[in-house]
């Protein structure tokens, strides 16, 4: 019987699924629908893995027959012996099998299994309450899918910046010469902001005094009282501007003092370099840890697996098995859209149903190709500091080592530090002399 090996494979899959399910859970421990859904999910996923080699063998045989037929019609007659594989079945049989397995798995993984996961995890005491909670949870879950996709897309792009700039920035913070020059640059930059904040608070104070003088000259007549009331919104905005100017002045003053006083703390340099190395190592550690941390689902032997983990495993198998098998077909060059071969001949029935890896053009020809390229470009742009040079050329103050204007700001910052240091030393010396004279007079 030609279909004998196929039937044997299906029976073997049925037995294997039964044995595994009996190993990880008892038939009496969970609801029959949970057991049945998990069994179907596991069984159909194993069917894809077990039957796909037979589909490949039949495809290779059919291709051999097609090539022999082509060679007979050509001048170069070269025929090969095509050996029919054991278990050969018509293509329509495999196509029907794949159609049943695929669509059943899709219904299970996207509708039935997520709903049952929420159902068994719901804390309600009635079936109606559990169903309502499951429906609500799945509606929220699928509702945030697009938002999560957008966030992860931005996260993947930003990785190009974090992989390069953060470790490099911390490493540079450990370079004393670089840190000192960068500190001088920031001091000069913050000094300008500090002066602007002081001018803003002076302007706001002068305007407030002018308004206050005008209000002092007003008398209690009705018409003038209405004029005063009409001026309240402007005065409120003036008050807001004054508050903002004061806060900005305090902020820039604090930053100024921090840059001037704390730039001598070079003992932090080696700490920054150590943190930089740790962050670079974490790039690898995170990739490994994401596979092992936060494992909420366990397949525990001796029939101790909970219903939620069973349903999750079935859902995961149904989702991952078809694309993994498509990748396998691409690796063995049985996907014409990957090999770009013309006149490919016969393809597997699995590919005929599932389509090719470019079934979604925006993914196959867009995201899967250009997103990694964009990340690499972003990493390269960050490494060569293209954004810094661009902002610098647009007029934004950026620390560029080879630029003359940056060197001027560094020199200006060094002079400001020297002025502040001399002022601090004079104040310290004055306090010392006052204490000394106070001690002498006290004697």
Highest mean pLDDT among 76-85, 141-150, 213-222, 398-407: 141-150
**What does the longest C-alpha to C-alpha distance in the chain come to?**
125
Residues 6+ apart with CB under 8 A from 352: 95
The pLDDT value recorded for residue 430 is: 82
Q: Which of 356, 373, 390 is the last residue of a domain?
A: 356
Say how many CA atoms lie within 13 Å of 119 toward its Cβ.
16
Whether residue 43 is contained in a domain is answered as yes
Q: What is the pLDDT of residue 352?
A: 82
Assigned domain for 345 exists? yes
Are 201 and 257 contained in the same domain?
A: yes
The answer to whether residue 130 is domain-embedded is yes
Distance CA 99, CA 299 (A): 29
Which of 256, 289, 322 lies at the terminal end of a domain, its last residue? 289
Position 18 in a domain: yes
Q: What is the pLDDT of residue 128?
A: 75
Least Cα distance to 349 among 334, 339, 360 occurs for: 334
Structure-token pair, residue 110: 């996207």
Residues 285, 306: one domain?
Answer: no
Provide the pLDDT for residue 222. 38
Nearest to 300 by CA among 289, 313, 291, 290: 313
d(CA 378, CA 162) in angstroms, rounded, equals: 10
Residue 263 lies in a domain: yes
Same domain, 249 and 335: no
Q: Residues 49-78: pLDDT tens digits?
A: 999 988 888 888 888 887 777 776 665 555
pTM across the whole model: 0.50
Residues 81 and 205 in one domain: no
Calculate mean pLDDT across residues 416-424.
77
Cα separation, 259 vs 268, whole angstroms: 14
pLDDT band at 13 (very low <50, low <70, confident <90, very high): very high
Q: What's the mean per-residue pLDDT of the chain? A: 73
Q: Percent of the chain beyond pLDDT 70?
A: 67
The Cα angle at residue 432 between residues 427 and 438, in degrees rounded to 5: 125
Question: Domain check: are 25 and 133 in the same one?
Answer: yes
φ/ψ (deg, to 5) at 70: -70, -40
pLDDT score for 78: 59
Give the whole-angstrom CA distance, residue 278 versus residue 166: 11
* Total tally of structural domains belonging to the chain: 2
Q: Verify that 96 and 197 share a domain, yes or no.
A: no
pLDDT of residue 133: 78
Q: Which pLDDT band holds residue 221 (cuts at 50, 70, 90)?
A: very low
Other Cβ atoms less than 10 A from the Cβ of 112: the count is: 19
- Count other C-beta atoms under 10 Å from residue 117's C-beta: 25
Query: Residue 105 pLDDT more than 70?
Result: yes
Look at residue 159 and tell me whether its pLDDT is greater than 90: no
Calpha distance 18→21 (Å, rounded): 5
What is the pLDDT at residue 87? 80
Overall average pLDDT of the 144-158 stretch: 76
> 185 and 255 share a domain?
yes
Angle, vertex CA 269, rays to CA 268 and CA 270, nearest 5: 95
Same domain for 29 and 104, yes or no, is yes
Tokens encoding 355? 């389509």
Q: Are residues 14 and 45 in the same domain?
A: yes
Please determine, for residue 354, whether its predicted confidence score (pLDDT) is greater than 70.
yes
- Looking at residue 224, its pLDDT comes to 42
Tokens 């969970």 found at: 30
Q: Contact, 66 vs 345, CB < 8 A?
A: yes
Residue 427 belongs to a domain: no
CA distances (Å), origin 237, targets 91, 192, 234, 323:
79, 25, 5, 61
Confidence (pLDDT) at 338: 66
CA distance 161 to 163: 6
Among 216-225, 280-289, 383-392, which range has the highest average pLDDT? Answer: 383-392
Instruction: Decide: 133 and 62 in contact? Cβ < 8 Å.
Output: no
Task: Give the model's confidence band at 223: pLDDT under 50 very low, under 70 low, under 90 confident, else very high.
Answer: very low
pLDDT at residue 278 tops 50 = yes
- For residue 200, is it within any domain? yes
**Whether residue 175 is found in the same domain as residue 278:** yes
User: 237 in a domain, yes or no?
Assistant: yes
- State which residues form the domain around 259: 167-289
The listed range with the strongest mean pLDDT (75-84, 165-174, 291-300) is 165-174
Backbone angles phi, psi at 51, to 5 degrees: -90, -20
> In terms of domains, do 63 and 126 share one?
yes
By mean pLDDT, which of 19-28, 195-204, 213-222, 239-248 is the weakest?
Answer: 213-222
pLDDT at residue 123 in the model: 65
For residue 264, is pLDDT > 60? no
Crossing angle for the helix pair 91-107 and 32-72, to the nearest 10 degrees:
150
| Cα angle: 72, vertex 74, 77; to 5 degrees | 55
Q: Are residues 266 and 323 in the same domain?
A: no
> What's the pLDDT at 301?
73
- Residue whose C-alpha is closest to residue 132's, from 144, 124, 143: 124
**Is a pLDDT exceeding 70 seen at residue 267?**
no
pLDDT score recorded for residue 161: 66
Domain boundary, last residue among 289, 307, 331: 289
CA distances from 30 to 40, 156, 354 (A): 15, 40, 33
Q: Is the pLDDT of residue 226 over 50?
A: no
Mean pLDDT, residues 4-28: 86
pLDDT at 367: 62
Residue pair 322/103 in contact (Cβ under 8 Å)? The answer is no
């Amino acid at each position: 019987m030609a279909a004998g090996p196929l039937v044997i494979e299906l029976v073997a899959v049925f037995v294997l699924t039964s044995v595994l399910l009996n190993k990880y859970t008892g038939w009496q421990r969970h609801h029959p629908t949970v057991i049945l859904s998990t069994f179907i999910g596991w069984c159909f996923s194993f069917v894809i893995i077990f039957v796909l080699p037979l589909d490949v063998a039949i495809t290779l045989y059919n291709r051999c027959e097609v090539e022999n037929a082509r060679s007979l019609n050509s001048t170069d007659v070269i025929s090969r012996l095509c050996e029919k594989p054991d278990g050969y079945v018509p293509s329509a049989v495999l196509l029907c099998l794949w159609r049943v397995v695929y669509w059943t798995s899709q219904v299970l993984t996207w509708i039935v299994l997520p709903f049952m996961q929420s159902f068994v995890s719901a804390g309600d005491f009635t079936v109606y309450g559990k169903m309502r909670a499951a429906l609500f949870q799945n509606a929220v879950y699928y509702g945030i899918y697009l938002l999560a996709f957008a966030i992860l897309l931005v996260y993947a792009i930003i990785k190009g910046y974090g992989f390069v700039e953060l470790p490099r920035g911390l490493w540079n913070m450990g370079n004393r010469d670089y840190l000192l020059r960068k500190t001088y640059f920031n001091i000069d930059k913050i000094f300008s902001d500090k002066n602007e904040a002081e001018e803003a608070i002076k302007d706001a104070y002068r305007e407030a005094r002018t308004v206050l003088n005008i209000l002092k000259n007003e008398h209690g007549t009705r018409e003038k009282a209405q004029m005063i009331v009409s001026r309240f919104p402007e005065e409120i905005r003036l008050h807001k501007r004054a508050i903002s100017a004061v806060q900005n002045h305090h902020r820039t003053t604090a930053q100024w003092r921090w840059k001037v006083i704390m730039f001598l703390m070079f003992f932090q340099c080696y700490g920054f370099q150590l943190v930089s190395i740790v962050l670079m190592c974490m790039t690898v550690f995170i990739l490994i840890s994401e596979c092992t941390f936060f494992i909420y689902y366990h397949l525990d032997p001796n029939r101790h697996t909970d219903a939620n983990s069973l349903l999750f495993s079935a859902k995961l198998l149904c989702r991952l098995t078809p694309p993994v098998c498509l990748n396998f077909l691409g690796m063995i060059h049985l996907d014409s859209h990957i090999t770009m071969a013309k006149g490919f001949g016969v393809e597997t029935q699995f590919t005929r149903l599932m389509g090719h890896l470019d079934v979604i053009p925006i993914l196959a020809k867009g995201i899967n190709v250009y997103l990694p390229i964009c990340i690499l470009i972003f990493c390269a742009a960050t490494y060569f500091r293209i954004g810094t040079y661009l902002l610098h050329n647009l007029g934004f103050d950026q620390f560029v080592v080879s630029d003359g204007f940056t060197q001027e700001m560094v020199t200006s910052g060094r002079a400001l530090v020297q002025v502040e240091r001399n002022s601090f030393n004079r104040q310290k010396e004055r306090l010392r002399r006052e204490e000394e004279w106070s001690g002498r007079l006290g004697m």
